[in-house]
Amino acid sequence: MERYTGKKIYEGIAVGRIAWLGKKEQVVERKHTEDTEAEKKRYEDARNEAIAQLRALYEKTKNEIGEADAEIFDVHAMMLEDDGYNDSVNNIIESQQMNAEYAVAVTGDNFAETFASMDDEYFKARSVDVKDISERVIRILSGESEASVDASEPSILVADDLTPSETVQLDKSKILAFVTRKGSSNSHTAILARTMNIPAIINVDVQESWNGKTGILDSDKGIFIVDPDEATSKEYNDRLEAQNQAKKLLLELKGKPNETKSGQKVMLFANVGNLSDIGSAIQYDAGGIGLFRSEFIYLGKDTYPTEEEQFTIYRKAAELMAGKKVIIRTLDIGADKQCDYFELGHEDNPAMGFRAIRICLKRPEVFKTQLRALFRAAAYGNIHIMYPMITSMSEIEQIKKIVAEVKAELKEQGVPYKDAPQGIMIETPAAAVITDRLAKEVDFFSIGTNDLTQYTLAIDRQNAALEDFCDVHHEAVLRLIEMTVENAHKNGIWAGICGELAADTSLTETFLKMGVDELSVAPPSVLKVRKVVRECD
């Protein structure tokens, strides 16, 4: 019996056969060619086929998982349409008289190296993406098949690494868990694993020789066991049975109140990125939408979404939730969420740069378009509007001025609209410290613990090398949360949490004692948190 340790990506226990994801090492030969035009045509055909594959992956992911998680394939397709990338490939073919495979490999390596050397975390992440698209084109040029897994039965998938495209193309019914050597908890593949509810750990010294052996994954403890002995197998099979029974019991909590034994109630809402995610929120019995990430409406396009496009989406969200709260966060572009058509430019430290409400206040025409759509959609349901990345009272004053202008314009034009409660995200220490003043100006607070933790601890949450230093339970973070809730209640407004900590059941009782009014989590976590709430005194 061998025991290995790794880092948890998504919780759960899995017991079963180990299946190794076979990846052929791409060996690209450097070949001279006289007919460069024919070689450029080969590249163009392969590039077009790769784009078609990525568009198909986008649709598959959008339909099966959600539009927010599908965006990575749209990004990959756009990278293959980039003039700089294509000019580099064609130039190598033409000037060096080399084959297309070699030209793509060199271009991919050069671009990946350039991205990886940048200080900007968003562009560093693009290093992995450009390698992924280059390998896809080379496979098409070479007539090679994609990486495959020998899984005739549900198995624990083991691999050196997984790209997003590999993850989404796998038959979910055949996958019990993921175990990989590489990756980070913020990678696209990790996000997909969480969305697909598949237990996963990373940073394990995986070996191809495990293929076909029995494996046990205990992702809660970050443990992977190969060839377990009889006693260990029995222990984990018993725990797996208990886990499965617990999942069934969770479904029995649908329709039950989110209430402690002593009668304290809390609102349990869902975080979503698009309309398709709302179906999952309804399925898991969320009491409302605590965070609708409107930026994905912008990320999925190559130009600014119109007022009508946004209005249609917001209206449908309100109608689907049938009178329940739908809290829509205004545009939160910037940092690791970039849109080329915004032309934001390079920043040395984008997480602290031109993003979110700062963009909206500097580009009021973009902000007004979204606000018009939101106030119009509010006439069709219980929409609340929430502003991200607030740091000062002056920002609230500017927002209120723009909101007043928007309402006046709608009224003057005779466009139907309805007022909507307006709140802010508390995700900077600056905002948390002045919540006693901010609470007098807004209708609610929603605490974004992901950024609040990042800024409080001075840790870039996209940097995998800093994960050991990122203590999400740090006393300073918890004190800022408690201060925010206290100041909200003193001023007669409610306060919720919409960051990752909202789903951390080890803190549920702590949040209840603080008086947190609402917890907004990924849809599959709603019933898990409800169970813990109902068990608290």
Please give the C-alpha separations between residue 430 and each of 41, 55, 349, 357, 358, in angstroms, as whole numbers: 56, 42, 18, 15, 15
Average the pLDDT over 326-348 and give the result. 74
**H-type alpha helices, 230-383:** 230-251, 275-283, 295-299, 307-320, 357-362, 364-377
Give the C-alpha separation, 436 to 491, whole Å. 8
Residue 133 falls within a domain, yes or no?
A: yes
Residue 19 falls within a domain, yes or no?
A: yes
pLDDT at position 65:
67
Give percent of the chain with pLDDT exceeding 90.
55
Give yes or no for a contact between 64 and 193, defined as CB atoms under 8 angstroms apart.
Answer: no
Indicate if 212 and 361 belong to the same structural domain: no
Q: Is the pLDDT of residue 45 over 90?
A: yes
Q: Is the pLDDT of residue 175 over 90?
A: no
Q: Tell me which residue has tokens 């698009």.
A: 274
Give yes or no for a contact between 497 and 220, defined as CB atoms under 8 angstroms apart.
Answer: no
Average the pLDDT over 45-50 and give the result. 94
* 75 vs 512, higher pLDDT: 512
Indicate if 101 and 167 belong to the same structural domain: no
Give the C-alpha separation, 318 to 327, whole Å. 10
Indicate if 138 and 180 belong to the same structural domain: no
Q: Is the pLDDT of residue 69 over 70?
A: no
Q: Is the pLDDT of residue 304 over 60?
A: yes
Show Cβ contacts of residue 143 under 8 Å, excluding neighbours closer than 6 positions: none
pLDDT at position 195:
66
Catalytic residue flag (residue 536): no
Q: Tell me which residue has tokens 């349409």.
A: 81
Among residues 142, 170, 197, the one where a domain terminates is 142
Q: Is the pLDDT of residue 150 over 90?
A: no
* Mean predicted lDDT score pLDDT of the chain: 87
Give the C-alpha separation, 148 to 142, whole Å. 17
CATH at residue 439:
3.20.20.60
CA nearest 321: which of 517, 523, 498? 523
CATH at residue 104:
1.10.274.10
Categorize the per-residue pLDDT at 151 as very low, low, confident or very high, splitting at 50, 70 and 90: low
Give the C-alpha separation, 29 to 25, whole Å. 13
Residue at 448: amino acid letter = G
Indicate if 265 and 245 belong to the same structural domain: no
**Domains of the chain: total:** 3
Residue 51 falls within a domain, yes or no?
A: yes
Beta pairing class for 7-10 and 200-202: antiparallel
Q: Write out pLDDT tens, residues 71-90.
A: 778 888 888 988 889 999 99
Q: In angstroms, how far is CA 484 from the centroid of its own chain?
A: 25
Give the C-alpha separation, 407 to 370, whole Å. 12
Q: Is the pLDDT of residue 527 over 80?
A: yes
CA nearest 328: which of 295, 377, 302, 291? 291
- For 67, the domain range is 36-142
Categorize the per-residue pLDDT at 406 as very low, low, confident or very high, splitting at 50, 70 and 90: very high
* 277 vs 270, higher pLDDT: 270
pLDDT at position 273:
84
161-170, 192-201, 276-285: segment of lowest average pLDDT: 161-170
Beta bridge partners of 214: 17
Residue 255 falls within a domain, yes or no?
A: no
Return phi, psi of residue 336, to 5°.
-90, 5
pLDDT at position 78:
87
pLDDT at position 338:
63
> At 284, is the secondary structure helix, strand, or coil?
coil
Q: In angstroms, how far is CA 73 from the centroid of its own chain?
A: 14
Categorize the per-residue pLDDT at 325 as very low, low, confident or very high, splitting at 50, 70 and 90: very high
Q: Tell me which residue has tokens 């100006």.
A: 441
87-101, 127-141, 158-172: segment of lowest average pLDDT: 158-172
Q: Is the pLDDT of residue 147 over 60?
A: no
Residue of 32, 76, 188, 474 marked active site: 188
For the chain, the residue count is: 537
* 524 vs 16, higher pLDDT: 16
> At 477, is the secondary structure helix, strand, or coil?
helix
User: 312: which 2 tokens?
Assistant: 């249609």
> At 146, is the secondary structure helix, strand, or coil?
coil
Residue of 76, 360, 384, 498 marked active site: 498
Please give the C-alpha separations between residue 267 and each of 388, 496, 519, 537, in angstroms, as whole numbers: 21, 8, 6, 17
Residue 179 falls within a domain, yes or no?
A: yes
Q: Write out pLDDT tens, residues 231-257.
A: 999 999 988 888 888 778 778 888 999
Indicate if 235 and 329 belong to the same structural domain: no
Number of Cβ within 10 Å of residue 515's Cβ equals 15
Indicate if 447 and 326 belong to the same structural domain: yes
Residue 29 falls within a domain, yes or no?
A: no
Residue at 250: amino acid letter = L
Among residues 142, 162, 193, the one where a domain terminates is 142
Q: Could you tell me how many helices (H) and strands (E) the chain has, helices first? A: 20, 17
Indicate if 324 and 403 belong to the same structural domain: yes
Categorize the per-residue pLDDT at 391 as very low, low, confident or very high, splitting at 50, 70 and 90: very high
Give the C-alpha separation, 275 to 24, whole Å. 38
Q: Write out pLDDT tens, residues 189-242.
A: 676 677 677 899 988 999 989 999 999 999 888 999 999 999 999 999 988 888
Q: Is the pLDDT of residue 124 over 70?
A: no
Question: Which is it for the CA torsion 448, 453, 459, 462, positive or negative?
Answer: negative
Indicate if 305 and 198 belong to the same structural domain: no
pLDDT at position 345:
66
Indicate if 325 and 387 belong to the same structural domain: yes
Q: Is the pLDDT of residue 61 over 90?
A: no
Give yes or no for a contact between 436 and 391, defined as CB atoms under 8 angstroms apart.
Answer: no
* 165 vs 49, higher pLDDT: 49
Residue 194 falls within a domain, yes or no?
A: yes
Average the pLDDT over 34-56 and give the result. 93
Indicate if 266 and 360 belong to the same structural domain: yes
Average the pLDDT over 300-316 and give the result. 89
Q: In angstroms, how far is CA 31 from the centroid of its own chain?
A: 41
Indicate if 177 and 267 belong to the same structural domain: no
Catalytic residue flag (residue 339): no
pTM: 0.64
Residue 173 falls within a domain, yes or no?
A: yes
pLDDT at position 460:
76
CA nearest 266: which of 506, 522, 513? 513
Among residues 249, 280, 308, the one where a domain terminates is 249
Indicate if 88 and 19 belong to the same structural domain: no
Categorize the per-residue pLDDT at 411 as very low, low, confident or very high, splitting at 50, 70 and 90: very high
Buried b (16+ CB within 10 A) or exposed e, 333-363: bbbbbbbeebebeebeebbebebbbebbbee
Categorize the per-residue pLDDT at 403 as very low, low, confident or very high, splitting at 50, 70 and 90: very high
Give yes or no for a contact between 444 and 494, defined as CB atoms under 8 angstroms apart.
Answer: yes
